[in-house]
Amino acid sequence: MKFPFQNVALIGKHKSPEVAVPLLRLAAFLSSRGLNVVVDSLTDEHLKGNPYPALSLVEIGRTVDLAIVLGGDGTMLNIARTLSLCQVPLVGVNQGRLGFLTDLTLDNMQDNIAAMLDGKFVAEQRLLLAASVMRRDVEVYSGRAFNEVVVHRNNTSTMIEFEVRIDGEYLYNQRADGLIVSTPTGSTAYGMSAGGPILHPSLDVLELVPICPHTLSNRPIVVNGSSVLEILVQRTGDIHVRFDSHTSYDLQMHDKIVVTRHPESVCLLHPVGHSYYHMLREKLLWNQML
Protein backbone atom coordinates (compact mmCIF):
# COMPACT_ATOMS: atom_id res chain seq x y z
CA MET A 1 0.00 0.00 0.00
CA LYS A 2 1.37 3.36 -1.06
CA PHE A 3 0.88 6.14 1.49
CA PRO A 4 0.31 9.07 1.57
CA PHE A 5 -2.42 8.70 -1.03
CA GLN A 6 -2.12 10.95 -4.07
CA ASN A 7 -4.18 9.28 -6.81
CA VAL A 8 -7.72 8.31 -5.83
CA ALA A 9 -10.42 6.52 -7.83
CA LEU A 10 -14.15 6.89 -7.16
CA ILE A 11 -16.36 3.97 -8.17
CA GLY A 12 -20.15 4.02 -7.91
CA LYS A 13 -22.79 1.33 -7.81
CA HIS A 14 -23.46 0.03 -11.32
CA LYS A 15 -26.52 1.46 -13.08
CA SER A 16 -27.38 3.74 -10.14
CA PRO A 17 -27.81 7.36 -11.26
CA GLU A 18 -28.46 8.45 -7.66
CA VAL A 19 -24.77 7.97 -6.90
CA ALA A 20 -23.85 11.00 -9.04
CA VAL A 21 -24.49 13.76 -6.49
CA PRO A 22 -22.59 12.32 -3.48
CA LEU A 23 -19.80 11.03 -5.72
CA LEU A 24 -19.17 14.40 -7.36
CA ARG A 25 -19.37 16.10 -3.97
CA LEU A 26 -16.70 13.73 -2.65
CA ALA A 27 -14.61 14.23 -5.80
CA ALA A 28 -14.63 18.00 -5.31
CA PHE A 29 -13.57 17.57 -1.69
CA LEU A 30 -10.67 15.28 -2.63
CA SER A 31 -9.59 17.61 -5.41
CA SER A 32 -9.60 20.56 -2.99
CA ARG A 33 -7.05 18.63 -0.90
CA GLY A 34 -4.72 18.43 -3.87
CA LEU A 35 -5.39 14.81 -4.82
CA ASN A 36 -5.64 13.53 -8.38
CA VAL A 37 -9.17 12.15 -8.82
CA VAL A 38 -10.37 9.69 -11.47
CA VAL A 39 -13.71 7.92 -11.82
CA ASP A 40 -14.66 4.48 -13.07
CA SER A 41 -15.71 4.58 -16.73
CA LEU A 42 -19.03 2.81 -16.03
CA THR A 43 -19.81 5.23 -13.22
CA ASP A 44 -18.99 8.11 -15.57
CA GLU A 45 -22.06 7.23 -17.65
CA HIS A 46 -24.24 8.69 -14.85
CA LEU A 47 -22.15 11.82 -14.23
CA LYS A 48 -23.31 14.71 -16.38
CA GLY A 49 -20.54 17.20 -17.06
CA ASN A 50 -17.98 15.15 -15.15
CA PRO A 51 -14.69 17.11 -15.08
CA TYR A 52 -12.59 14.15 -13.88
CA PRO A 53 -10.82 11.58 -16.09
CA ALA A 54 -12.73 8.31 -16.60
CA LEU A 55 -10.71 5.07 -16.55
CA SER A 56 -11.51 1.37 -16.79
CA LEU A 57 -11.02 -0.79 -13.71
CA VAL A 58 -7.87 -2.25 -15.22
CA GLU A 59 -6.45 1.25 -15.76
CA ILE A 60 -7.51 2.25 -12.24
CA GLY A 61 -5.64 -0.73 -10.81
CA ARG A 62 -2.46 0.39 -12.54
CA THR A 63 -2.58 4.06 -11.60
CA VAL A 64 -4.24 4.80 -8.24
CA ASP A 65 -3.19 4.53 -4.60
CA LEU A 66 -6.71 4.27 -3.18
CA ALA A 67 -10.19 3.38 -4.42
CA ILE A 68 -13.37 4.62 -2.73
CA VAL A 69 -16.46 2.56 -3.55
CA LEU A 70 -19.94 4.06 -3.19
CA GLY A 71 -22.41 1.18 -3.24
CA GLY A 72 -23.38 -1.97 -1.41
CA ASP A 73 -21.61 -5.23 -0.67
CA GLY A 74 -22.23 -6.51 -4.21
CA THR A 75 -20.43 -3.51 -5.67
CA MET A 76 -17.53 -3.96 -3.28
CA LEU A 77 -17.25 -7.67 -4.14
CA ASN A 78 -16.97 -6.94 -7.85
CA ILE A 79 -14.39 -4.20 -7.39
CA ALA A 80 -12.34 -6.14 -4.84
CA ARG A 81 -11.85 -9.16 -7.13
CA THR A 82 -10.27 -6.92 -9.78
CA LEU A 83 -8.28 -4.40 -7.74
CA SER A 84 -6.90 -6.97 -5.30
CA LEU A 85 -4.52 -8.13 -8.03
CA CYS A 86 -2.95 -4.66 -7.96
CA GLN A 87 -3.11 -4.38 -4.15
CA VAL A 88 -5.16 -1.18 -4.27
CA PRO A 89 -6.69 -0.51 -0.81
CA LEU A 90 -10.46 -0.03 -0.73
CA VAL A 91 -12.77 2.18 1.31
CA GLY A 92 -16.50 1.44 1.21
CA VAL A 93 -19.36 3.94 1.49
CA ASN A 94 -22.64 2.12 1.99
CA GLN A 95 -25.46 2.74 -0.50
CA GLY A 96 -26.90 -0.76 -0.28
CA ARG A 97 -28.95 -2.62 2.32
CA LEU A 98 -26.72 -4.37 4.87
CA GLY A 99 -23.24 -3.09 4.10
CA PHE A 100 -21.01 -5.64 5.82
CA LEU A 101 -18.09 -4.44 3.65
CA THR A 102 -18.99 -0.75 3.34
CA ASP A 103 -18.85 0.81 6.79
CA LEU A 104 -18.96 4.55 5.97
CA THR A 105 -22.22 6.38 5.36
CA LEU A 106 -23.00 9.26 3.03
CA ASP A 107 -23.37 11.49 6.09
CA ASN A 108 -20.00 10.70 7.67
CA MET A 109 -17.90 9.81 4.61
CA GLN A 110 -16.21 13.20 4.19
CA ASP A 111 -15.02 13.49 7.79
CA ASN A 112 -13.86 9.87 7.90
CA ILE A 113 -12.07 10.04 4.55
CA ALA A 114 -10.37 13.28 5.60
CA ALA A 115 -9.00 11.46 8.66
CA MET A 116 -7.87 8.54 6.49
CA LEU A 117 -6.00 10.88 4.18
CA ASP A 118 -4.13 12.06 7.29
CA GLY A 119 -3.13 8.48 8.09
CA LYS A 120 -5.83 7.77 10.66
CA PHE A 121 -7.12 4.41 9.47
CA VAL A 122 -6.98 0.69 10.21
CA ALA A 123 -5.81 -1.55 7.33
CA GLU A 124 -7.21 -5.06 7.12
CA GLN A 125 -6.21 -7.90 4.79
CA ARG A 126 -9.04 -10.21 3.72
CA LEU A 127 -8.65 -13.68 2.23
CA LEU A 128 -9.51 -14.21 -1.46
CA LEU A 129 -10.36 -17.55 -3.13
CA ALA A 130 -9.11 -19.01 -6.40
CA ALA A 131 -10.95 -21.91 -8.04
CA SER A 132 -10.39 -24.01 -11.15
CA VAL A 133 -12.63 -26.47 -12.97
CA MET A 134 -10.64 -29.50 -14.10
CA ARG A 135 -12.05 -31.75 -16.83
CA ARG A 136 -10.00 -34.85 -17.61
CA ASP A 137 -7.01 -33.18 -15.91
CA VAL A 138 -7.29 -30.04 -18.07
CA GLU A 139 -8.32 -26.68 -16.62
CA VAL A 140 -11.40 -25.49 -18.51
CA TYR A 141 -12.39 -22.55 -16.31
CA SER A 142 -11.03 -20.51 -13.41
CA GLY A 143 -12.18 -17.61 -11.29
CA ARG A 144 -11.76 -15.65 -8.07
CA ALA A 145 -14.20 -15.10 -5.22
CA PHE A 146 -14.18 -12.75 -2.23
CA ASN A 147 -17.23 -14.29 -0.52
CA GLU A 148 -17.66 -17.85 -1.74
CA VAL A 149 -17.37 -20.50 -4.43
CA VAL A 150 -20.62 -22.48 -4.69
CA VAL A 151 -21.35 -25.77 -6.44
CA HIS A 152 -25.12 -25.73 -6.88
CA ARG A 153 -27.92 -27.35 -8.82
CA ASN A 154 -29.98 -25.14 -11.09
CA ASN A 155 -33.75 -25.21 -11.33
CA THR A 156 -34.24 -28.95 -10.96
CA SER A 157 -35.65 -31.05 -8.14
CA THR A 158 -32.83 -33.61 -8.27
CA MET A 159 -30.05 -33.43 -5.69
CA ILE A 160 -26.45 -33.49 -6.81
CA GLU A 161 -23.81 -35.91 -5.57
CA PHE A 162 -20.16 -35.07 -5.01
CA GLU A 163 -17.05 -36.19 -3.17
CA VAL A 164 -14.94 -33.77 -1.11
CA ARG A 165 -11.22 -34.09 -0.37
CA ILE A 166 -9.05 -31.81 1.76
CA ASP A 167 -5.31 -31.77 0.99
CA GLY A 168 -5.79 -35.03 -0.86
CA GLU A 169 -7.51 -36.78 2.06
CA TYR A 170 -11.04 -38.10 1.61
CA LEU A 171 -13.58 -36.20 3.74
CA TYR A 172 -17.04 -37.38 2.64
CA ASN A 173 -19.54 -38.06 -0.09
CA GLN A 174 -22.48 -35.73 -0.12
CA ARG A 175 -25.99 -35.69 -1.51
CA ALA A 176 -27.36 -32.17 -1.31
CA ASP A 177 -28.54 -29.16 -3.25
CA GLY A 178 -24.94 -27.97 -3.27
CA LEU A 179 -21.87 -26.95 -1.29
CA ILE A 180 -20.56 -23.52 -0.28
CA VAL A 181 -16.83 -22.92 0.16
CA SER A 182 -16.66 -19.60 1.98
CA THR A 183 -14.04 -17.15 3.17
CA PRO A 184 -14.43 -15.52 6.60
CA THR A 185 -15.74 -12.46 4.73
CA GLY A 186 -18.38 -14.59 3.04
CA SER A 187 -19.44 -16.23 6.30
CA THR A 188 -22.02 -13.46 6.77
CA ALA A 189 -23.40 -14.03 3.26
CA TYR A 190 -24.69 -17.27 1.68
CA GLY A 191 -22.87 -19.40 4.24
CA MET A 192 -24.74 -17.79 7.13
CA SER A 193 -28.08 -18.20 5.33
CA ALA A 194 -27.32 -21.93 4.89
CA GLY A 195 -26.57 -22.42 8.58
CA GLY A 196 -22.80 -21.90 8.63
CA PRO A 197 -20.95 -20.12 11.46
CA ILE A 198 -19.92 -16.46 11.40
CA LEU A 199 -16.13 -16.25 11.17
CA HIS A 200 -14.06 -13.26 12.22
CA PRO A 201 -12.37 -11.86 9.08
CA SER A 202 -8.91 -12.03 10.67
CA LEU A 203 -9.06 -15.85 10.79
CA ASP A 204 -6.98 -17.79 8.28
CA VAL A 205 -9.65 -20.41 7.61
CA LEU A 206 -12.22 -21.58 5.08
CA GLU A 207 -15.64 -23.04 5.78
CA LEU A 208 -17.56 -25.72 3.90
CA VAL A 209 -21.32 -25.44 4.26
CA PRO A 210 -23.64 -28.06 2.69
CA ILE A 211 -26.83 -26.69 1.15
CA CYS A 212 -29.84 -28.76 2.28
CA PRO A 213 -27.88 -32.02 2.76
CA HIS A 214 -29.88 -35.23 2.55
CA THR A 215 -28.10 -36.61 5.64
CA LEU A 216 -28.59 -34.43 8.71
CA SER A 217 -25.20 -35.47 10.13
CA ASN A 218 -23.45 -33.60 7.31
CA ARG A 219 -22.67 -30.31 9.05
CA PRO A 220 -20.54 -27.26 8.22
CA ILE A 221 -16.82 -27.67 8.84
CA VAL A 222 -14.03 -25.09 9.19
CA VAL A 223 -10.57 -25.92 7.79
CA ASN A 224 -7.18 -24.27 7.56
CA GLY A 225 -6.98 -21.39 5.08
CA SER A 226 -4.02 -23.00 3.30
CA SER A 227 -6.01 -26.17 2.52
CA VAL A 228 -6.52 -27.43 -1.02
CA LEU A 229 -10.17 -28.38 -1.43
CA GLU A 230 -11.33 -30.74 -4.18
CA ILE A 231 -14.97 -31.28 -5.09
CA LEU A 232 -15.54 -34.16 -7.51
CA VAL A 233 -18.90 -34.22 -9.29
CA GLN A 234 -20.36 -37.74 -9.18
CA ARG A 235 -23.87 -37.09 -10.39
CA THR A 236 -25.04 -34.25 -12.54
CA GLY A 237 -28.23 -32.85 -13.88
CA ASP A 238 -28.26 -29.14 -14.26
CA ILE A 239 -25.32 -28.08 -12.08
CA HIS A 240 -22.83 -25.25 -12.07
CA VAL A 241 -20.10 -23.59 -10.04
CA ARG A 242 -20.63 -19.96 -9.10
CA PHE A 243 -18.22 -17.25 -7.97
CA ASP A 244 -19.71 -14.57 -5.65
CA SER A 245 -23.02 -14.73 -7.58
CA HIS A 246 -21.13 -12.92 -10.34
CA THR A 247 -19.94 -15.54 -12.81
CA SER A 248 -20.78 -19.22 -13.22
CA TYR A 249 -19.74 -22.24 -15.26
CA ASP A 250 -21.76 -25.36 -16.17
CA LEU A 251 -20.33 -28.62 -14.87
CA GLN A 252 -20.25 -32.14 -16.26
CA MET A 253 -19.92 -35.60 -14.73
CA HIS A 254 -16.48 -36.20 -13.15
CA ASP A 255 -15.49 -32.52 -13.29
CA LYS A 256 -13.29 -31.56 -10.35
CA ILE A 257 -13.41 -28.13 -8.72
CA VAL A 258 -10.18 -27.19 -6.94
CA VAL A 259 -10.46 -24.32 -4.44
CA THR A 260 -7.48 -22.67 -2.74
CA ARG A 261 -6.54 -19.39 -1.13
CA HIS A 262 -5.52 -16.85 -3.79
CA PRO A 263 -1.94 -15.56 -3.36
CA GLU A 264 -3.21 -11.97 -3.23
CA SER A 265 -5.55 -10.58 -0.58
CA VAL A 266 -8.07 -7.76 -0.44
CA CYS A 267 -7.00 -4.68 1.53
CA LEU A 268 -9.85 -2.81 3.26
CA LEU A 269 -9.38 0.45 5.13
CA HIS A 270 -11.58 1.32 8.10
CA PRO A 271 -11.86 4.40 10.32
CA VAL A 272 -9.93 4.33 13.59
CA GLY A 273 -12.11 2.63 16.19
CA HIS A 274 -13.83 0.33 13.70
CA SER A 275 -15.20 -2.77 15.45
CA TYR A 276 -16.29 -5.93 13.64
CA TYR A 277 -18.46 -6.90 16.59
CA HIS A 278 -20.18 -3.53 16.65
CA MET A 279 -20.86 -3.94 12.93
CA LEU A 280 -22.44 -7.36 13.55
CA ARG A 281 -24.65 -5.98 16.32
CA GLU A 282 -25.81 -3.18 14.05
CA LYS A 283 -26.34 -5.16 10.84
CA LEU A 284 -27.87 -8.26 12.44
CA LEU A 285 -29.96 -6.25 14.93
CA TRP A 286 -28.42 -8.03 17.90
CA ASN A 287 -28.80 -4.87 19.98
CA GLN A 288 -32.59 -4.89 19.74
CA MET A 289 -34.64 -6.23 22.60
CA LEU A 290 -37.04 -9.04 21.73
The Cα diameter of the chain in Å comes to 61
Q: Are residues 122 and 165 in the same domain?
A: no
Q: Are residues 38 and 122 in the same domain?
A: yes
Ramachandran angles phi, psi of 204, nearest 5°: -95, 70
Q: Is the pLDDT of residue 194 over 70?
A: yes
Q: Is the pLDDT of residue 208 over 60?
A: yes
Q: Is 290 a domain residue?
A: no
Q: Is 213 a domain residue?
A: yes
Q: Are residues 251 and 274 in the same domain?
A: no
Q: ∠ CA 156-190-269 to the nearest 5 degrees?
A: 150
Ramachandran angles phi, psi of 206, nearest 5°: -125, 155
Q: Are residues 34 and 123 in the same domain?
A: yes
- Residue 167 annotated in active site: no
Q: Are residues 136 and 202 in the same domain?
A: yes
Domain CATH code at residue 105: 3.40.50.10330
Over range 183-211, report the average pLDDT: 97
**Closest C-alpha among 162, 165, 139, 161 to residue 249:** 139
Residue 4 burial class via C-beta count within 10 angstroms: exposed 0-12, middle 13-18, buried 19 and up: exposed
Q: Are residues 11 and 54 in the same domain?
A: yes
Q: Is 188 a domain residue?
A: yes
Which of these is catalytic: 40, 44, 73, 255? 73
Q: Are residues 180 and 86 in the same domain?
A: no
Q: Are residues 13 and 102 in the same domain?
A: yes
Q: Is 275 a domain residue?
A: yes
Half-sphere exposure (Cβ direction) of 69: Cα atoms closer than 13 Å: 31
Q: Are residues 133 and 159 in the same domain?
A: yes
Domain CATH code at residue 166: 2.60.200.30
Ramachandran angles phi, psi of 29, nearest 5°: -65, -45
Q: Is 1 a domain residue?
A: no
Q: Which of 12-21, 150-159, 261-270 comes out lowest in average pLDDT? A: 150-159
**Cα–Cα distance between 88 and 103 in angstroms, integer?**
18
Q: Are residues 135 and 247 in the same domain?
A: yes
Q: Is the pLDDT of residue 290 over 70?
A: no
Q: Is 288 a domain residue?
A: no
Q: Are residues 256 and 277 in the same domain?
A: no
pLDDT band at 287 (very low <50, low <70, confident <90, very high): confident
Task: Kindly calculate the radius of gyration of the chain based on its CA atoms and give it in whole angstroms.
Answer: 20
Q: Is 208 a domain residue?
A: yes
Ramachandran angles phi, psi of 192, nearest 5°: -65, -40
For the stretch 101-147, pLDDT in tens is 998 999 999 999 999 999 999 999 999 999 999 999 999 999 999 99
Count of domains forming the chain: 2
Look up the domain containing 199 and give its range: 129-261
**Cα–Cα distance between 87 and 107 in angstroms, integer?**
28
Q: Are residues 123 and 144 in the same domain?
A: no
Ramachandran angles phi, psi of 186, nearest 5°: -75, -5
Q: Is 80 a domain residue?
A: yes
